[in-house]
Chains A and B, each alone.
Chain A
Amino acid sequence: GAGVSQSPSNKVTEKGKDVELRCDPISGHTALYWYRQSLGQGLEFLIYFQGNSAPDKSGLPSDRFSAERTGGSVSTLTIQRTQQEDSAVYLCASSSRLAGYRHQETQYFGPGTRLLVL
Chain B
Amino acid sequence: QKEVEQNSGPLSVPEGAIASLNCTYSDRGSQSFFWYRQYSGKSPELIMFIYSNGDKEDGRFTAQLNKASQYVSLLIRDSQPSDSATYLCAVSGNYGGSQGNLIFGKGTKLSVKP
Chain A residues proximal to chain B, CB less than 8 Å: 31, 33, 35, 41-43, 45, 48, 50, 56, 59, 91, 97, 99, 102-103, 105-112
B44 CB to closest chain A CB (Å) equals 5
CA distance A108 to B90 in the complex (A): 13
Majority secondary structure of chain A interface residues (helix, strand, loop or mixed): mixed
Q: Chain B residues near A48 (CB, 8 Å)?
A: 100-101
Is B46 located at the chain interface by the 8 A CB criterion? yes
Residue of A41, A43, A99, A106 with most chain B CB atoms under a 10 A cut-off: A43
Q: Chain B interface (Cβ within 8 Å of chain A)?
A: 31-32, 34, 42-46, 49, 51, 88, 90, 92, 95-96, 98-107
Q: What is the total of A-B residue contacts with beta carbons within 8 Å?
A: 54
Nearest Cβ on chain A to B97's Cβ, whole angstroms: 11
Q: In the complex, what distance in Å separates the CA atom of A107 from the CA atom of B91? A: 11
Q: Which residue of B lies closest to A55 (CB)?
A: B100
A35 to B100, CA, bound (A): 13
Contact B46 A42 (CB under 8 A): no
- Docked CA distance A56–B102 (Å): 12
A111 & B101 in contact (Cβ 8 Å cutoff): no
Given known A41-B106, A42-B107, A102-B31, contact A108–B46 (CB-CB < 8 A): yes
Q: A42-B88, A42-B105, A50-B100 are in contact. Are A105 and B43 (CB under 8 A)?
A: no
**Beta-carbon contact of A106 and B34 below 8 Å:** yes
